[in-house]
Structure formats: structure tokens, C-alpha cells
Structure 1
């Protein structure tokens, strides 16, 4: 049957999405799978549904645990996995039927440690288009780090990838953080010899109104900056040729947190707001000369340099 793949699915209060996710795994063209559903202390019917889904396919295993967050659930899944290859799927997402066949074939062909594919962003049920020209790459770890940090073709997301389990021998997802993927991905790639990649989209990443990507502002969003500060340090010490892209991503993280803060009319922290703005103003030369930032981002930044209220107006118009 070929190498077994352990597919780890953290589950928390997703009863209306879970069956679609699991069906997309069950129906994979690659059949030698172990499907590990980690019920992370769900308070809806998700835990019960996990137990019912076991009856649907004997490859499914269920683990019930106290709530500890996404990272905790993924770490538990890694501990429970019985195969040498693992993948992660978020329980409100789903995948194309041949995703794992494609990832495994590329992994084997390139004798790689990680195999990556592209993902669709799905907003309000609308799926973006597939790439017009499908490409594949055999990457060194430096090339792969550059590609995920640029985030134009591939990104730091953990879910649209296939890993050799040994990579997690001394690495775990950080518990209690958001942006957990950004904290670990560069460290994982740093341990690799070869990475296989394709821009072909096979994973459907669902953006929900109450998900981490769209929720109200919280100081937890500062984890995004923390993650890219860590990545900056790793790159500065080990991949000096990539220093520019690590600076870009750190600047992006400051924009990300500032934007989330400014669009939330119910959250006020002037000290934090000024700290974020001052950082960006201090790095104005890098931002305005950076080819990775869009023209729209740079125009918005110019308005921020003039006055934050002008920037705030543009930002709110854009988000509405």
C-alpha cells in the first residue's frame, strides 16, 4: 500500500464543518492513511460527532482531551501518530481528493523532508482560481525559507504540507500563541535537506467570521510580531542572504497588528498604537523601497506618515 500517512485534525466546536473535512480525507485517492481526530475539549457536539465518524471508516482514531488550544491538539496528534509521515488539516477546512497522493509523490521523487502545495483562500463560500501555470520545485532549505517568507506562492501555513515525522522530534507547536505556524515553520525548514514544492492549490482554507483570522483585536495579535522577530533572528544568524525578506516580513507583522488594532472601534490602546506607528515610521526607508510591498500598501503608508487619522480612514474604507 505504500507509506502510511498520519493525518492530524484538531477539533474544537466545529460540528457544522467537521464531516465535510473528514469526508475529504476519507475520499483521498491515496488510501494508506491514519486519521487522528483530536477533540480539544469541544463544548458543542463535535466530540460526539468524532465518535460517530469512527463508524464511518476504520482508519479514524479519536482522542478526547482537555482544551489546550490548536498547538496543544497538534502536539498530541504528533505524539499519537504511528507513521513516519504526518500532515495537518484544520477541521473547518477541506482538501482535494488527490492532495496527499500529490504531496507524497513529490516527496519521494525529490527525496525531500517536506512536501508543500498551494492553498485556496475561501471567503463566504467563494473559492479563488487555480494557478494558471502549475510549477514544481526542488528547493534547498534556504530557497524554501525565502519562498514561505515572501508568501507569494507558498506560506508558513502548516496545513498544506506533508512532513517526515522525525522533524518534530525536538520541535513542538508553541502552546498559548496565535500565529503558531509562523513560530515553527522556519525552524522546521532549517532542519531539512530538500523540500519539494508545487504552486498547485489542493487545500481549501476557509475564512470564517469567528476565526482567528477575522476576530476582534486582542493583545494576542502581538504574537505575530513575536514570531517574525524570532524568524528574523534565525535568518540573521544563519541565512544572511535572506535578511531583506525577513525585514519585509517583520514590517508586515507590525502593519498587520496595527491594522487589526485600528479597525476595531471597541479596542483602545494608545500606547500600543503609538509604539506600532513609531516602529513603522522608523523603518520608512525600508518600507517605501521594498519591492515586496504593494503599491497600495505604500500609498497607505504615506498617509500614515502624514497623519494616522488619514490612514485610519483608508483602512476602514478598505475593510468595509
Structure 2
């Protein structure tokens, strides 16, 4: 374990070129704050790639204006193809030694890049540096350490497959070495692109965690994080968890594979209920069949007793398991609300 880096940029580290991939779609109101936060970084050697993904407001013109103001900014305009395609386009153009992702309605603390560059420079074995983030408005992400710490691949995947899943899953609030990203690309047409992708970066090299909240994550109406949970979104989440389980099995990480399998099970049970409540009976039955097949390929993964019982129920009756899981979830939510501060009790 090594000490926390000082803010600023150490001698020689300022020469490290960092590519910043910024997908842009209809964020005229927030884009200037986002890009300005990148241009104002204490680490100045930046390659900022704005991918205008077919914006229909003034975002595209603002991208061009920002590029005219500072030669570190480049712009590509393309037809609307979605977040993954925009990130992939940025990756194909990025020429920095290190790469990071910044969503166009978010912004950075001025020391974000310098702090993560220094963390990677001090840990040459690490492929990823991870910062905490703050939801705006909202709370700061929890961190597994109070001091800068290097985590092995096994340890990083353990954090991913646990209470720090969101911190390790989002592709933003991280700085990657190019060789860690290499040939991995975000899946186009998916709604949970980070769930399919970021863990693959973490599996390639250790990660260094910086216990500072340097990424500001805007919560806004109409943003991706605020979108209603639909069957299509939930199906993507199921398939991402199943991909994780397969990969973790193949890579020899049984605990992470068990966690991913548990997530796939719970999400598919929710999906069955969501489809049934929407009157999409045929699709619900298809998911019941898929669930039955999934729980029969359990292997010897270290599931908890509660999950083993749920999987056994799903083998016997997927529909009953979905109903029971839904009722249990609702009951837990009611109990949590009843026990929260300020809640009236009768």
C-alpha cells in the first residue's frame, strides 16, 4: 500500500498525453461546463475528442465553437447511433497514452486527471485508476479504502461483484492505459453498455483506487440514469449479468461468477413479472423457459443458502418463483420505508 498522491502534477507526468472521450447528444445546456472542466485541468496535456452523436439542439454547433477556442479539442459529427457507438468512435480517434471517458452532462474537479495520472505513474503494474464520484444532487459514492491502494485483479473483481459494484462498473471516473482497453469496445444497441464492458478492463490488470471524489455526476430529468425501467432495459441487464457469469467462470473467478449469476436470476425474475404485468404473456413465458435452463446449469458456484433455495424454486416453477420474489421485494421495501427516520408508525 502506498501513500495518497499530492494534488497537482509531478515532474515528467505533465508530458503524459491523456485522451478524453466525450459523447455528445442534446446537452447544449450542460456541454460548456463539461468541456470547460476538462480544459481547466491542472494536467494540461489533453486530447479532448467530442463525438456529436446526431444532436438536434445546438450541441453540435457548440462543439465546433469549443474546438475553435482551444486546439486540444477535436470534434466529429455523426448520425445518431447511441452512446456506445459514440464512445467507440472516440476510442478509434484517441491517441493519448491514457484514456478516460467524460459524459457530456457531467464535469470534473480540476485535479481529476493529474491525480489519476500520478496514481498510475506510481503503480506501473496498474491498468486502471479509479476515482470516487458525487451525484449532483445526491450522495458521494462509497469507497472501499481511505488511502490510495492497489488492488489485484482478484480483489478488483471482488469489489465489482459486491457492494462497490457501481463504483467499479461505470466507465467514467476512471483513467485507463491504452493496452487495457486494446480491442474491447462498447456494445452498440445495448442500454447497459458499461455492464458489458468495464469489468473486462479490470480483468486485464490491477487497479489503483484513489479515495477522492473527483467526478461530478449530474442527475437530471431525461438523463439515462433517470429513465424508467422497461422490459428491454431489464433484458439488457439480464444478458449483461449472464455474460459476466460466463466470463468469470472461464477466467477462474467462481465467487464473482456466483454473484453475477445471482444478479441474472433476480433480474430475470423481475423481468418475468414486468412482462406479465404489461400483458406480454408470450415473452414472459419465453423468459420462464430461459430461467429454467439457466438455473439448471448451476455448476458448483458458491451461492448462498437463500439463493440456492430461490434457484430450486425456479427449477420447479419459474412463475411461482417470480411471484414469490416480487412479493418478497415489495415487503422488504415496505419494511425499509417503515423503519426510515421520520416515518409515522401505527
Residues 223, 55 of structure 1: CA spacing in aligned structure 2 closer, same or farther, 3 A cutoff?
same
Residues 236-315 of structure 1: pairs in structure 2 closer than 5 A:
236-239=249-252, 242-256=253-267, 259=270, 267-270=278-281, 272=283, 275=287, 279=291, 286=303, 289=306, 307=324, 310-311=327-328, 314=331
Q: What secondary structure is seen at the aligned counterpart in 2 of 1:150?
A: coil
- The structural deviation recorded for 1:70 is 0.9
CA shift in 2, pair 1:151/1:27, >3 Å: farther
How far is 1:177 from its partner? 0.9
Unpaired segments ≥5 residues, structure 1: 291-302
Residues 71-220 of structure 1 aligned to structure 2 (within 5 Å): 71-111=84-124, 112-122=126-136, 125-128=137-140, 134-152=146-164, 154-192=167-205, 194-216=206-228, 217-220=230-233
Change over 3 Å in CA distance of 1:202–1:308 after alignment to 2: same
- Report the equivalent of 2:76: 63
Do the aligned residues in 2 keep the contact of 1:11 with 1:38 (CA within 8 Å)?
A: yes
Contact 2:151–2:208 (Cα < 8 Å) also in 1: yes
In structure 2, C-alpha distance between the alignment counterparts of 1:102 and 1:276, rounded to whole Å? 48
Paired with 1:273 and 1:213, the residues of 2 have a C-alpha distance of 25
The structural deviation recorded for 1:221 is 2.7
- 1:41–1:62 distance in 2 versus 1, CA, 3 Å: same
Query: After superposition, what is the alpha-carbon deviation per residue over 1:60-87, rounded to whole angstroms, capped at 9, x for unaligned?
Result: 1111111111111111111111212110
Larger Rg: 2
> 2:142, 2:164 within 8 Å by CA — same for their partners in 1?
no
Unaligned runs of 5+ in 2: 1-13, 297-301, 308-319, 338-346
Deviates more, 1:260-269 or 1:136-145: 260-269
Root-mean-square deviation (Å): 3.4
Name which of structure 1's ranges 202-211 and 310-319 shifts more when overlaid on structure 2.
310-319
Mapped partners of 2:131, 2:289: distance in 1? 35
Give 1:296's aligned residue.
none
Distance 1:270 1:312, change over 3 A: farther
CA distance in 2 between partners of 1:208 and 1:254 (Å):
30
The alignment covers a number of residue pairs equal to: 302
For 2:275 and 2:29, locate their aligned partners in 1 and report how far apart those are by CA, in whole Å: 28
**Deviation of the 1:135 alpha carbon:** 2.3
CA gap 1:173/1:131 in 2 versus in 1, 3 angstroms: closer
Measured at CA, do residues 254 and 11 of structure 1 come closer, stay the same or move farther in structure 2, by a change above 3 Å? farther
2:52 aligned with 1:52: no
Give, in whole Å, the separation in 2 of the partners of 1:45 and 1:127. Answer: 31
Partner secondary structure for residue 122 of structure 2: helix
TM-score normalised by length of structure 1? 0.80
SS at match of 1:110: coil
Alpha-carbon shift at residue 130 of structure 1 (Å): 7.5
